[in-house]
Amino acid sequence: MKSGLLLVNLGSPASPQTPDVKRYLKEFLSDQSVIEMPKVLWQPLLRGIILPMRSWRSATFYRDTWLPAGSPLIVYSQQLTTKVQAALPDWDVRLAMTYGQPDIAATLQAMHADGCEHITVLPLFPQYTQSTHQSIINQAEAAAVPMTIIKHFYDETDYQQLLAHKITTAYQKHTYDAVIFSYHSIPTAMVHHGDPYLDECRATTAAVAARMPAVPSDKIITAYQSKFGPMPWLKPYLKNKLMQLVELGKRNVLIVTPSFVCDCLETLEEDNVQNYQTFKASGGDRFDVMPCLNADERFAEFLASLATRWQEAAAVVQN
């Protein structure tokens, strides 16, 4: 019997064409871990207004970022999986997606059938939030195979040090007025209901900043991006913060995205295109977005080490 590791990311449309994007958005936005509004109210709004209006527009964004090998999120996640497998040659390391393919439960069952006695499930989201993790947990538990789920890794020293090193390297290439830690936002209602995401984002910024002596602490700012819908989400919103910085005379910024492990629509299109255009139109000068960790060798080694430690701990508990 061997050990198994299942890496899980969000997912992506099968293609950048409108029908596939609509199918993906319907699955994603029908998840009540993401949208908590009662189905009887939300589904008519989703099917009648949001999907018809949003699908074609999102499809244009996906087409702009699509790689020859496919969706950037899928491509980079697959490359990362390959690197982690190389770091764990005696393990069975696979990739699944919360929405779309490969399916979480089916992949877990296949791994178990192929001889994985116990599987570690590792969501590729450093900070825990219901909107990303709960669906992963629900789907994984539905597979009914022995497993351990790692719910976050933002507080791991090696991860913090790796992120600090990459940010410091990027920061030293130019002169910046601000370094913005931009996290994916979530509805404030989730935080009020006990979701730890806000605290974990703040802790991530503080811990990484403490490991970057070359970056002045007064230049480090936390913001949130990718708001969806009319309800209040975590602030300050990145777009508003960018315009505010220009008004304050801070026209050279470096954006880092610690809640995103692999580059995706939010980093490649929303940040590098939409937020870039907002910043430049407001009078900003230098706007740089640091690439995500993607298939970084050291990040793959960190994930391998993390999974090994959790597997060893699970074995001790079982014995």
What CA–CA distances, in Å, run from 200 to 78, 191, 258, 281?
26, 11, 11, 33
| Sequence-ordered list of residues with C-beta below 8 angstroms from that of 250, at least 6 positions apart, any chain | 177, 178
| Sequence-ordered list of residues with C-beta below 8 angstroms from that of 235, at least 6 positions apart, any chain | 185, 224
184 known member of a binding site: yes
Contact (CB, 8 A) for 91 and 5:
yes
Which residue in the block uniquely carries the two structure tokens 């597979």?
A: 143
Cα distance between residue 42 and residue 30, in whole Å: 8
SS3 assignment, position 11: strand
Contact (CB, 8 A) for 126 and 259:
yes
Helix or strand holding residue 143 (H, E): none
SS3 assignment, position 40: helix
Q: What is the DSSP string of 174-233?
A: S--SEEEEEEEP-BHHHHHTT--HHHHHHHHHHHHHHT-TTS-GGGEEEEEE---SSS-B
SS3 assignment, position 159: helix
27 known member of a binding site: no
Do you know the residue count of the chain?
Answer: 319
Q: Which residues are annotated as a binding site?
A: 184, 266
Q: Which residues are annotated as a binding site for Fe(2+)?
A: 184, 266
